[in-house]
């Protein structure tokens, strides 16, 4: 895939970091402000999609990235499930039980395991969307060859 | 209501087991349809008409698409079967009578349970919102989360979120499988 014009590349360089950090903010503050894992994960994947679209990339690099994104996605959903099982094993003995102390409502570290669930889902959604995008790009490159 | 539900569930389990051991794909699909439409009536019995409507639409569309795929991929076998049947003596024999009777019994069975489920539904515009009220009143206190939506999504409704994440995972696996020109070595 060919890259875009220098203007697009420069704007991407300037904006990308902010979007990424905002995605992390949305994920980690999911239990305090609107948003959460699903929305923040879309931000994270959007950053990488913007990067690939504006700079273009050769297919070999993309294939490696696709594999890694797929692996990270599997690990994230495994973590999510693991947290649910840990909730089943300790504390109230309920699947998806909240086994950590709840803390003060409104603080960043509160609500027990909900922030951890949010992070796992955020990583999972981000990696999943990125994997689908990369799969489509690689397919198009292979077809046009 | 519990008895009705258990009978339905037993019926669905039989359908699922038959689908595993069916001799051809078409009958396996139809018995999968029994599971899907049984689930519709289960949802109605548990007073979730919205889920029941979604399940009817999804089940019908999937079934039609899958039947179309099966008919298309096994057209040769089916045509041979039809030829064999035409050589036989008559259409009215024990096998066909049994088939028609099974269909009629199944239809009556579903109609009976559907009728029972419809009777138990709430009147129009007077749905039960006990759970929603409990969530709104005790949500912040019981989950410790200031954002009520996240509190419900990851605490009370953890199973739903797990399902959503699994759907995304499955979608990725499907895309990776379909969009692969050369197989992995």
C-alpha span between B64 and A145 (Å, rounded): 36
Residue B142: exposed, middle, or buried by beta-carbon count in 10 A (0-12, 13-18, 19+)?
Answer: middle
Evaluate whether B147 touches A32 at the Cβ level (below 8 Å).
Answer: yes
Question: What residue numbers bound the domain in which B111 lies?
Answer: 2-128
In a domain, B101, yes or no: yes
Is residue B146 a part of any domain in this protein? Answer: no
Instruction: Chain B: give the shortest CA distance to residue A23, in Å.
Output: 16
* pLDDT at residue B185 in the model: 47
pLDDT at B182: 64
Q: Do B145 and A103 touch (CB under 8 A)?
A: no
Mind listing the pLDDT tens digit for each residue in A101-126?
Answer: 777 777 777 777 888 888 999 999 99
- Separation CA B14–CA B34 (nearest Å): 9
B27 domain-assigned: yes
Rounded to the nearest angstrom, the gap between the alpha carbon of residue A78 and the centroid of all alpha carbons in its chain is: 14
Per-residue tokens: A92:
């109230």
CA distance B126 to A90: 40
Judged against a pLDDT cut of 60, whether residue B183 lies above it is answered with no
Nearest-CA residue of chain B relative to A103? B144
H helices of chain B, in order, are 2-21, 25-45, 49-73, 75-87, 94-120, 130-143, 148-151, 158-178
Q: What is the pLDDT of residues B111-163, one digit of tens each?
A: 888 888 787 777 776 666 677 777 888 777 777 777 888 888 887 888 888 88
| Percent of chain B with pLDDT strictly greater than 70 | 85
Residue B138 lies in a domain: no
Whether A27 has a pLDDT exceeding 70, the answer reads yes
Do residues B141 and A30 lie in contact, with contact meaning Cβ atoms separated by under 8 Å?
no
Asked whether residue B65 is assigned to any structural domain, the reply reads yes
Q: Give the CA angle between residues A114, B168, A81 to the nearest 5°.
A: 40
Q: Which residue of B has its CA nearest to A72?
A: B169
Alpha carbon of B173: minimum distance to chain A alpha carbons (Å): 9
- Looking at the domain assignment, is residue B168 inside a domain? no
Residue B82 has pLDDT above 70, yes or no: no
Question: Does residue A75 surpass a pLDDT of 70?
Answer: yes
The three-state secondary structure class of B96 is: helix
A98: left (phi over 0), alpha (psi -120 to 50) or beta: beta
- Give the count of Cβ contacts less than 8 A between chain A and B: 102
Phi, psi of A102 (to 5 degrees): -80, -30
Burial class (CB in 10 A: 0-12, 13-18, 19+), B119: exposed
- Which of A9-13, A54-58, B54-58 has the weakest average pLDDT? A54-58
Q: What is the pLDDT of residue B87?
A: 57
Q: How many domains are there within chain B?
A: 1
- Is residue B149 a part of any domain in this protein? no
Q: ipTM of this predicted complex? A: 0.81
pLDDT tens readout for residues B87-102: 555 556 777 788 888 8
- Range with the lowest mean pLDDT among A72-81, B6-15, B108-117, B122-131? B122-131
Could you give the CA distance from residue B71 to residue B73 in angstroms, rounded to a whole number?
Answer: 6
The mean pLDDT of A54-74, rounded to a whole number, is: 80
């Amino acid at each position: 895939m060919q890259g875009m014009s220098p203007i697009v590349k420069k704007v991407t360089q300037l904006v990308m970091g902010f979007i990424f950090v905002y995605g992390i903010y949305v994920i980690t503050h999911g239990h305090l402000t609107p948003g959460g894992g699903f929305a923040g994960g879309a931000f994270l994947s959007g950053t990488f999609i913007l990067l690939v679209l504006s700079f273009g990339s050769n297919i070999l690099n993309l294939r490696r990235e696709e594999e890694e994104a797929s692996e990270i996605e599997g690990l994230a959903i495994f973590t999510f499930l693991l947290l649910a099982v840990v909730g089943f094993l300790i504390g109230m003995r309920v699947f998806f039980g909240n086994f950590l102390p709840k803390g003060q409502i409104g603080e960043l570290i509160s609500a027990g395991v909900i922030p951890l669930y949010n992070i796992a889902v955020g990583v999972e959604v981000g990696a999943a969307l990125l994997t689908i995008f990369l799969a489509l790009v690689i397919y198009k490159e292979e077809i046009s060859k | 209501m519990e008895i009705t539900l258990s009978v339905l569930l037993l019926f669905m389990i039989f359908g699922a087991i038959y689908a595993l051991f069916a001799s051809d794909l078409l009958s396996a699909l139809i018995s999968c349809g029994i599971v899907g439409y049984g689930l519709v009536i289960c949802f109605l019995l548990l007073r979730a008409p919205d889920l029941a409507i979604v399940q009817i639409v999804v089940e019908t569309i999937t079934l039609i698409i899958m039947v179309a795929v099966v008919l298309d991929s096994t057209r040769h076998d089916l045509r041979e079967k039809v030829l064999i049947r035409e050589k036989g003596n008559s259409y009215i024999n024990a096998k066909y009578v049994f088939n028609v009777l099974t269909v009629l019994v199944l239809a009556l069975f579903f109609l009976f349970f559907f009728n029972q489920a419809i009777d138990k539904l709430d009147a129009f515009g007077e749905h039960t919102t006990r759970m929603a009220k409990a969530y709104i009143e005790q949500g912040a206190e019981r989950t410790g989360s200031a954002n009520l939506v996240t509190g419900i999504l990851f605490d009370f409704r953890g199973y739903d979120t797990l399902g959503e994440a699994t759907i995304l995972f499955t979608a990725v696996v499907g895309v990776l499988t379909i969009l692969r020109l050369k197989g992995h070595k």
